Amino acid sequence: MLTALELMANGNLRPSHLRAWEELWAGSTLELTGPDDLSRALIGCMFYLLSAFPSLHEAPGHFGGVSPGGLSNGGSGQDYWGHVFWDQDTWMYPSIGLFYPQLARAVLEYRVRTVDGAKDNAEKQGYKGLKFPWESAVSGREVCPEDIYGQQEIHINGDVTLAFQHYLYLTQDMSMFTEGRGSEVIWGVADYWVSRVTWSAEEQNYHILGVMPPDEYYYNVNNSVYTNTVAKFSLEFAVELAALLKYPAPREWQQVADKIKIPFDQKQKYHPEYDGYKKGECFPPLPTFT
């Protein structure tokens, strides 16, 4: 492959740049009926998102994930130092998954390459399976500067596995789970949830205690509705994948999935953010699952 300097020297840098973008846009043409501003905004969002991903022709092993700051450049706030968060798997991934399966797989393969670090994180916290870091870099070990986020914002595990689940449903590509070690991620996270829950004899269900929900203004709360829901999804997908691969799934995966607490206020007919949440307190918007 020619380097940028070689392309510049022979006058082909700009033409090659244009060809690369033409190829990308051919995969995600958006035609909207409505205000031009909306169309420009959506295309602009896709442009910046694609700018942070590797070329379609680049080996996925070189991909180090996407930071919420995109192509991080430091400066004030340091743009999270280029670390990878749940934003990659939850917010950035769906658009890429719909239009660019190859790039979507690169996201999953990045997580696969950090499995050893995720295993180390779980062991250090006294749990089984895999615990993906709240802030991830090359190794998969926790690199968040403040310990509480890595200890308590454990919904990251469900965010990671949800991306794998979306990939399978969108592409039907089982090779990610047979040859690409995706099953190791799914089953390792399931083992983590089983070791992380606590049985409540009073309520006759499983609780997840001492967490920070996506709403980071609160911490050390019990039964974050988002955390518990993605844990349930993780476990159910682990059972589903095991059936597809004819793998004997541990009974605990389905048992915990069936009995994990999903907070719901029967009187007011809504899901409180966590146990003890008072209706009216502000919290940020969360993803919608369908």
Which member of 135, 216, 236, 273 is catalytic? 216
Average pLDDT in the chain: 90
In a domain, 284, yes or no: no
For the ranges 3-17, 91-105, 136-150, 170-184, the lowest mean pLDDT is seen at 3-17
Q: What is the pLDDT of residue 184?
A: 98
In a domain, 152, yes or no: yes
Give the count of domains, the chain.
2
Q: Do both 155 and 226 map to the same domain?
A: yes
pLDDT(271) > 70: yes
Give pTM, 2 decimals.
0.89
pLDDT(194) > 90: yes
- Bridge partners of residue 200, in order along the sequence: 205
Residue-wise pLDDT for 89-125, tens only, equals 999 999 999 999 999 999 999 999 999 999 999 999 9
Q: Do both 144 and 104 map to the same domain?
A: yes
Are 133 and 143 contacting, i.e. CB atoms less than 8 angstroms apart?
yes
Question: Could you list the residue range(s) of the whole structural domain that residue 56 is in?
Answer: 1-62
Q: Do both 5 and 101 map to the same domain?
A: no
Q: How many helices (H) and strands (E) does the chain have?
A: 13, 2
pLDDT(193) > 60: yes
For the ranges 50-64, 74-88, 125-139, 163-177, the lowest mean pLDDT is seen at 74-88
Q: Do both 3 and 97 map to the same domain?
A: no
Among residues 38, 163, 40, the alpha carbon closest in space to that of 96 is found at 163
Spatial neighbors of 230 by CB under 8 A, at least 6 apart, are: 155, 157, 158, 159, 161, 162
Tokens of 39: 């169309």
In a domain, 182, yes or no: yes
In a domain, 202, yes or no: yes
pLDDT(226) > 90: yes
Domain of 140, CATH number, reads 1.50.10.10
In a domain, 171, yes or no: yes
In a domain, 6, yes or no: yes
Q: Do both 38 and 115 map to the same domain?
A: no
Active site annotation includes 216: yes
In a domain, 270, yes or no: no
